[in-house]
Structure 1
Amino acid sequence: MISYRSPVEKEGRRAFLPTFRAAAFMLGVCVAAIASAESYPAKLITFVTPFSPGAGPDVFVRAIATEVGHAAGVPAIVENKPGASSMLAAQSVMRAAPDGYTVLITGNVAFTGNPHVVKKMLYDPVADFTPVTTLSKGPMYLYVNPKTLPAWNATELVSLLRKEPGKYSFAYTSITSQLPAEVLQQSAQVKLLGVRYRSGAAAIPDLISGQIDMMFTDYTPWAYVKSNKLRAIGVTDLQRSPYTPGLPTFKEAGIKGMDIGFWLGAYLPANAPAPVVARLHQLLAAAVKAPEAQAASQTMGMFEFVMPIGELAKYQAKESADWGRVIRGAGIQPE
């Protein structure tokens, strides 16, 4: 029997074939992607960070990378991309493939501070990334040069600053270290001169020598407090730090709005597969518990701070909104 197909039926079949082949191809791509995600990680992982080599956060990231590499059985390296308020590192990861092999570990300034103080952002802090988890967090400490600014506590400090408005200077490296000083000026009604530095490593020598009078930063310079080269005035957290239990909080001194700290988080490029995010989260959560990572955290006065999957996006949104209100209240304009 000879079958017969009408011209319409033949044309429909010809039209259907490309569609079928495209669907089959996409299905194959999806299956391959899922298989690749489930076998993750299977090759070198690059951790990109905005911190300078040797800085406290860099030491922490390297400890994390080492632990992840050992646990996963793959090589892991750290790539430092400092500059532009952490934007260079973020932009580099944004452009990478979302396969889990390029990971950004950065401070909160990249996602909660920059959007409010940078006119031309190099990335979208929400649309361009897949949040994985926070890793650690800590407060800021106010250090002063005891010779140029002879105050022993926040009350004495405010008294000195009020006597000579604009005389005393503070160093800052980003909005994270600038914001507490701005809030201090607003809350205590004092006037300071801000001086921007590329890094804390560049600012601390000037603080010790007296070229700068004060600086908000992490716990790293505490050794200079022990040697009497610097004096610590207060901590920005609502609770005293267990690392420095004798140091009062600014809240105790009656200075409001100083609950400004910093945290480190891990991000992948946008649209990273869920299995990859889950596995990386698992690896990072274990890595922060390693002795080397714990030691690096303690050097900065930070604490382990790992959030469940899916929570970092919510936390980032809240933090960004809170920082935005404080930044606008301090009168800081985008540049």
Structure 2
Amino acid sequence: MKSIFYLCAALSVAMAQTAVAQSYPSKPIRMVVPFGAGSGTDQVARALAQAMGQADKITVVVENRPGGNGFIAAQDVANAKPDGYTMLLTTNSTHAAAEHLYKNVPYDPVKDFTPVALLRKGYLVMVTKPEFAATTVADFTEQAKKEPGRLNFGSGSSSSRVSAELYRQIAGVDLVHVPYKSNPNALNDLMGGLLQVMFVDTSSAVNLIKSGKLRGLAVSSQRRLDILPEVPTMQEAGVKGYEMSYWTAVYLPRNAPPDITAQLSRLLGKAMNSQELKQLTEKTGTEVAFGDGEVLSQFQASETEKWARIIKAAGIKPE
């Protein structure tokens, strides 16, 4: 009798979970972004929210929580109720690089989250003000070597910082790092003359380059990007062995129900195939790299090892 009771109880729980998943989502979903408005990640978040609303009548509220190296947003979601209504749209900054850059990360990027979906990959571009004397990477490197410790770079994400640190290591130059809450803030200071150089995601930089507000010196990809065909790769610019990319993914708090996780993954996959997202990836030089939670889990593990190697090779000490 006990075995029949436990079987019935298990079936009841399974049926209840299935019913919840079938009705999910039944209220607005909160999408937390660890970077500021206007950042590349923010652009994806808002395009996703729009696509999910149009296709499935789902209300997704984008909430930017920049600062604290992405810790504020990550902690927010890690501590949220795991019911599928609070998700983190983030990058390798919080979920592959942070534990190797900082001594006291207030969350576990694996244990505190449920992987939902890998969304896209992207690249960075080395930029300066158009008025800056150096017009090529070689020029910048030469000037930096003549003035060690005099030139600075800003970063508002781990990808931005580590890209610059990798260049600094390979080129053998001494640059001063200036941290920011988000890349848009750093870009404003770059255009204002407070910074000399930045490595920033193409999503944030392409329009500024095309409008003449910034000069693109080189891209971090292995081949030139269609949106910036005139900008050489770092390899072409003489920084041999240089290649960097970043990625965007979605997580729920730990212990999120598998049915809810799978349903959200399906909804995100559908949105990534929408015309809005296809147009966004085309105009920002990024690429769709969709995978479900299992794919994301395996990818995150390999990327964490990769970023650890890069950060260690660049000589960056955890702060």
Q: What is the CA distance between 1:308 and its match in structure 2?
A: 4.2
Following superposition, the deviation at residue 326 of structure 1 comes to 1.0
Contact 2:67 2:182 in 1 (8 A): no
Report the Cα distance in structure 2 between the residues aligned to 1:27 and 1:229, rounded to whole angstroms. Answer: 62
Instruction: Find 1:280's aligned residue among 249, 255, 264.
Output: 264
Pairing 1:236–2:194 present:
no
Out of 222, 226, 230, the position equivalent to 1:246 is: 230
Residues 159-196 of structure 1 deviation map (CA, whole Å, 9 limit, x = unaligned): 22222222211111132111121111211111111111
Call closer, same or farther: CA 1:146–1:80 in 2, change over 3 Å. closer
Q: What code does the residue aligned with 2:30 have?
A: T
- CA distance in 1 between counterparts of 2:218 and 2:19 reads 52
Match of 2:106 in 1: 122
Contact 1:180-1:258 within 8 A present in 2 as well: no
CA distance 1:144–1:274, shift in 2 (3 Å): same
- Structure 1 position 69, deviation (Å): 3.2
Equivalent pairs: percent with the same residue?
37
- For each residue in 1:133-172, what CA deviation from the matched residue of structure 2 results, as whole angstroms up to 9, or x when unmatched? 1112211100012433x22322222222222222211111
**Which of the numbers 295, 306, 312 marks the counterpart of 1:328?**
312
Which ranges of structure 2 fall in alignment gaps of 5 or more residues? Answer: none
**Aligned partners of 1:211, 1:96: CA distance in 2, in Å?**
38
Question: Structure 1: which 4+ aligned runs deviate by more than 4 Å?
Answer: 19-27
Indicate whether 1:138 and 2:122 are aligned: yes
1:214-241 Cα distance to aligned partner (Å, 9 max, x none): 0000222333333443211101111211
CA RMSD of aligned residues (A): 2.4
Indicate conservation of the 8 Å contact 2:21/2:263, yes or no.
Answer: no
Residue of structure 1 equivalent to 2:245: 261
C-alpha displacement of 1:44: 2.2
Quote the Cα distance in structure 2 between the aligned partners of 1:203 and 1:299.
Answer: 22
Cα deviation for residue 299 of structure 1 reads 5.0
Query: Contact between 2:157 and 2:183, CA under 8 Å: does it hold in 1?
Result: no
Gaps of 5+ in 1: 1-15
Give how far 1:36 is off.
Answer: 1.3
Cα deviation for residue 266 of structure 1 reads: 0.8
Measured after TM superposition, the shift of residue 27 of structure 1 is 5.5
Residue 174 and residue 58 in structure 1: after superposition, are their counterparts in 2 closer, same or farther (change >3 A)? Answer: closer
How far is the alpha carbon of 1:87 from its aligned partner?
A: 1.7
Say if 2:48 is the partner of 1:64: yes
- The alpha-carbon distance between structure 1 residues 189 and 296, as it changes in their structure 2 partners (threshold 3 A), is same
Kept in 2: contact 1:285–1:306 (CA 8 A):
yes
For residues 249 and 134 of structure 1, do their structure 2 counterparts lie closer, same or farther at Cα, with a shift above 3 Å needed?
Answer: same
SS in 1 for 2:103: coil
One-letter code aligned to 2:186: A
Tell whether the 8 Å contact from 1:56 to 1:299 is kept in structure 2 after alignment. no
CA distance in 2 between counterparts of 1:67 and 1:169 reads 39
TM value normalised by structure 2: 0.90
Which of 147, 155, 160 is the equivalent residue of 1:177?
A: 160
Aligned counterpart, 1:3: none
* Candidates 96, 101, 104, aligned match of 1:112: 96
- Letter aligned with residue 198 of structure 1: K
C-alpha distance in 2 between matches for 1:278 and 1:46: 17
Match of 1:203 in 2: 186
Contact 1:91 1:123 in 2 (8 A): yes
What is the rounded CA distance, in whole Å, between the counterparts of 2:34 and 2:179 in structure 1? 17
Q: Which residue of 2 aligns with 1:319?
A: 303
Distance of 2:12 and 2:258 partners within structure 1: 18
Q: Distance in 2 between matches of 1:93 and 1:266?
A: 11
Q: Which moved more, 1:188-197 or 1:55-64?
A: 55-64
**Structure with max Cα Rg:** 1
| Whole-angstrom CA distance in 1 between matches of 2:263 and 2:128 | 44
Change in CA separation of 1:227 and 1:73 when aligned onto 2, cut-off 3 Å: closer
Distance 1:81 1:206, change over 3 A: closer
* Aligned residue number for residue 192 of structure 1: 175
- Asked if the contact 2:124–2:201 (Cα under 8 Å) also holds between the matched residues in 1, the reply is yes
Deviations 1:97-130 (A, max 9, x none): 3232222111221101111112222211111111
Query: 1:294 maps to what in 2?
Result: 278
Q: TM-score, normalised by structure 1?
A: 0.86
* Equivalent in 69, 89, 99 of residue 73 of structure 2: 89
**Aligned partners of 2:172, 2:26: CA distance in 1, in Å?**
56
Equivalent residue number for residue 8 of structure 1: none
Contact persistence 2:120–2:289 (CA under 8 A): yes
3-state DSSP of counterpart to 2:270: helix
Q: How many pairs were matched up?
A: 318
Between 1:34-43 and 1:321-330, the stretch displaced more is 34-43
Tell me the residue number matched to 2:32: 48
